[in-house]
Structure 1
Amino acid sequence: MFTGIVEELGTVETLEDQGDAVRLTLRAPHVIADARLGDSISVNGCCLTVAERDGETFTADVMRETLDKTSLGALEPGTRVNLERAVTASSRLGGHIVQGHVDGTGTVVRREPSEHWELVEVSLPDGLSRYLVDKGSITVDGISLTVVSVGRESFTVSLIPETLARTTLGFKQPGDPVNLEVDVIAKYVERLLTHDKDPA
């Protein structure tokens, strides 16, 4: 489990195509400093497992299913990524409950700069808008953000200078893909309310 508070901007070092998977190596001196083999690290909002570590880099195996359903399939050497280590029982929950299980991908639609913050609009895949509410939480590329407004096909978030400086949303441009994870509590509420209507 994660909180959506990005700890480090890492860099893709190499991608080794294995047909049905990719071995992804990332330079991440901060998050790898105390990581062990088998630990979970969120990479642009996708929960990946540390398979190897070497100095300031770590390697994770990314299955074809993940590559096809997230923006990780578009990574290439040199790409910057948001990184967060899994939360511990003694950690502060600075964002919201994030599982690292991507619900879909959207794209940056527009950016509207202001003097002290920036409004960013992101497109929504079919079926995800029902989980969003104004002032609710959403995870964009692993970043816990507060929703400003929700439409049927997109939503907006306001980004403070700290978020712009410390995450990939500081340089994502219209048309760039982003991973989205909606609030898991909303999904559980929906399941509870519709359970008796399900045939299973």
Structure 2
Amino acid sequence: MSTKLRSSKWIQKNGFAPQVFLFRNIETNQVLYSQLPHISNYQIKQQFWRPNWQDRKPQKRRDIWRCMAVADFHNYDNALKAYHALVELRYLRQVTKKDEAMAMRRRNKDGNIWYSAQFRPVHSQEAVADLSTVIDEFKMPSKIYWESLWRRGDEKYWNKDLTTHEEMDLRDPRFRTVVLNDIKEKSKAEIGLDQAQEATSKLQ
């Protein structure tokens, strides 16, 4: 299990692809970023610095987390850079610029950001916006696989020159691991093809 930040070399050496995973809590709509296709207590501790009654520290229970998106990058360094940037943006929103972030959040007719119990639509919306921002800011080509394409939001907020989108078939819980593994293998195969083409180009 992932108990610490993994280097790009470690990710590659251990057979993973250059990806960042976005896991959505079905009870609260909170999102966790992960370098690997699962979550851990380390990630919860790393990404929830100042939990409060509006943004409680979530539990690690596997039954309440769903893979919302997999961001597939062209190389391992880009995947690590994207992961770092996403965690940093969350830190700014939760700590450094907490008041500014709260003022910008969409509210319901009663002036609140919540809709039912601890469920907050804004959590996943901010995560999607941050992913789009990171890809655009660092000019990193990527392919994003979504739990459902509607979670991507409006297409106009994505850089079409950098990003393509595809929907995953995660309707059956029994096949979720298989789907994520297929995406991983596809990513690794594409990287191998890119490296082979680059080597051929250098020889010519």
Alignment TM class, shorter chain as reference: under 0.3
Structure 2 length-normalised TM: 0.25
Structure 1 length-normalised TM: 0.26
More helix by share: 2
